[in-house]
Amino acid sequence: MLVLFGSQAQNISSPASDYDILVFGPDTKKSYDLVYDLLSGKIQKLVDIDIVFASVAPGELLNHASTYGQVLYAKSPVDFANFRQKVMLDYSDFAPYRYLFQQATLARI
């Protein structure tokens, strides 16, 4: 599955904005090159394309992509719904830890 997220997905991009792509698949150089070549051929202008693999992406990024992302490609129409459900469950499981971390960070400021 390929998911566009960030300013391009939210329709708040500027001419200098990059394209942020979340990729579900093996985190390999071959996969990266394949996705980059495919997308740069479709976009057909000189822009930055940031490719992030879901397997190594932080929870905050996954939450953002599940909330605002737009599916560019999926094998099944339910793939994105399943991803959103998993992210919501994982994100809520870690909510107490995020709160403690935020409080500790604020206490140091």
Neighbours of 23 (CB within 10 A): 21
Instruction: Name the residue ranges covered by the structural domains of the chain.
Output: 1-105
Position 61 scores a pLDDT of: 96
For residues 105 and 5, give the distance between their C-alpha atoms in angstroms, rounded to a whole number.
Answer: 27
For residues 48 and 41, give the distance between their C-alpha atoms in angstroms, rounded to a whole number.
Answer: 13
CA atoms within 13 A on the CB side of 43: 19
State the SS3 of the chain.
CEEEECCCCCCCCCCCCCEEEEECCCCCHHHHHHHHHHHHHHHCCCCCEEEEEHHHCCHHHHHHHHHHCEEEECCCCCHHHHHHHHHHHHHHHCHHHHHHHHHHHHHHC
Report the percentage of the chain scoring pLDDT > 90.
74
Using one digit for the tens of pLDDT, what is the confidence trace for 18-54?
Answer: 999 999 999 999 999 999 999 988 887 778 999 999 9
Mean pLDDT of the chain: 92
Report the percentage of the chain scoring pLDDT > 70.
100
For residues 79 and 17, give the distance between their C-alpha atoms in angstroms, rounded to a whole number.
Answer: 27
| CATH classification code of 1-105 | 3.30.460
